[in-house]
Amino acid sequence: MTESAAAPAPLRVLLVDPDDRVRESLAGLLRIGQRCLVVGSAGTADAALRLARDATPDVVVVDPRLPGVDTGAALIARLREVVPTARVLVLDWSDTADQTSGADAYVRKTFRPHELIDAVVSTSGRSVA
């Protein structure tokens, strides 16, 4: 197989949510179709920022309502400082401006599985098999 015929690398995704069960479920969903590779999972803003720096994700899926975070917009701004090439997809119950400002995309937590996968792929801006 030539290099040009090789399948594109999966999207590198960092999951950030205060609930470890939610992160586990999201990771399982994102494995479907093998278009995404979960490179980290964090339950706090500090852990998310450390992982983002080390794992250099293509997309950060983040619930902006983490303990100790004033606003989602502030967390998104910090993520952009740490890994400026990553896209940010907010995953939340509501779409208030103080929680989603600065994000590249937004999905409600009432999503269907294919909606999450499609949102991650489209948010990345990359073509993925």
| 93 has pLDDT over 90 | no
Confidence at residue 98, expressed as pLDDT on a 0 to 100 scale: 58
Residue 128 belongs to a domain: no
Residue 80 belongs to a domain: yes
Supply the range of the domain harboring residue 53.
Answer: 11-123
Residue 42 belongs to a domain: yes
What is the sign, positive or negative, of the torsion defined by CA atoms of 12, 17, 23, 26?
Answer: negative
pTM, whole model, 2 decimals?
A: 0.88
Residue 3 belongs to a domain: no
How far apart are the C-alpha atoms of 46 and 64, rounded to whole Å? Answer: 13
How far apart are the C-alpha atoms of 17 and 80, rounded to whole Å? Answer: 17
Residue scoring higher pLDDT (34 or 51)? 51
| Number of structural domains in the chain | 1
Average pLDDT, the chain: 87
Output the DSSP codes for 75-97.
Answer: HHHHHHHH-TT-EEEEEES---H
Residue 6 belongs to a domain: no
Could you tell me the CATH number of the domain that includes residue 104? Answer: 3.40.50.2300
Residue 1 belongs to a domain: no
How far apart are the C-alpha atoms of 124 and 120, rounded to whole Å? Answer: 6
